Amino acid sequence: NAGVTQTPKFQVLKTGQSMTLQCAQDMNHNSMYWYRQDPGMGLRLIYYSASEGTTDKGEVPNGYNVSRLNKREFSLRLESAAPSQTSVYFCASSGFLPTSTDTQYFGPGTRLTVL
Amino acid sequence: SQQGEEDPQALSIQEGENATMNCSYKTSINNLQWYRQNSGRGLVHLILIRSNEREKHSGRLRVTLDTSKKSSSLLITASRAADTASYFCATDPSGYSTLTFGKGTMLLVSP
């Protein structure tokens, strides 16, 4: 059981480049999430998917797109990277609900630097 | 915007001492969770306390919830160097929305 896996672990982009962060979970969870973590800002929700086939915006969705490819996989795409998107990105999943009723399980994170 | 705010921002103690962290939130909640994050790693769930519970224990962890004061505290007893990490509280403001995390308390436990 790998839990939640993320690729890549590190990435450096130039302004304007695009990239996709990959996330997969093997716990048969319905809900999946993408967060970003900046120093002194805690975690902020970018997008989430409460179930396969649905996606919703979180607190900071601008500049990002997501795809819930199937129940296991949830990807985050930066179409035109900006320095303000330099951050650590975490993927998470939970069994049934996006609310505090359910525990979230986190991946190890992707450190992204945009020059 | 942050629903939960942890206090203090940073805490430094010696091994064997107790560590107490507080979380205040603004609106009514369904449940409240605490998570731990070791440096450079993802968050790990510690404990969930429901809005109708006042206290919960898990090993060396004790969590209290006071809904009238909109606050929660996390007590780690007999701290160890391995407890060095950041600790976050998380709530869902209305009970029907997604989790909102606070900015965290950074705990340093020195041998």
pLDDT in tens, A41-98: 789 999 999 888 899 999 999 999 999 989 999 999 999 999 999 999 999 999 866 6
* Cβ contact, residue pair B88, A43, below 8 Å: yes
Q: Do A104 and B99 touch (CB under 8 A)?
A: yes
Give every strand in the sheet of A74-78, ordered side by side. Answer: A4-7, A19-25, A74-78, A64-68
Size of interface A-B (CB pairs under 8 A): 70
Q: Is B30 on the interface with A (CB under 8 A)?
A: yes
Greatest CA span in chain B, whole angstroms?
Answer: 43
**Which of A99, A101, A114, A97 shows the shortest CA–CA distance to A36?**
A114
**Predicted pLDDT of residue B71:** 95
Which chain B residues in 48-67 lie under 8 Å from chain A, judged by CB atoms? 48
Beta-strand runs (E) in A1-115: 4-7, 10-13, 19-25, 31-38, 42-49, 56-57, 64-68, 74-78, 87-94, 104-106, 110-114
Report the pLDDT value the prediction gives residue B98, as an integer from 0 to 100: 83
**Three-state DSSP class for B23?**
strand
Per cent of chain B over pLDDT 90 is 75
Q: Position of tokens 């869902």?
A: B92
pLDDT of amino acid A49: 93
Quick one: pLDDT band at residue B31, thresholds 50, 70, 90? confident
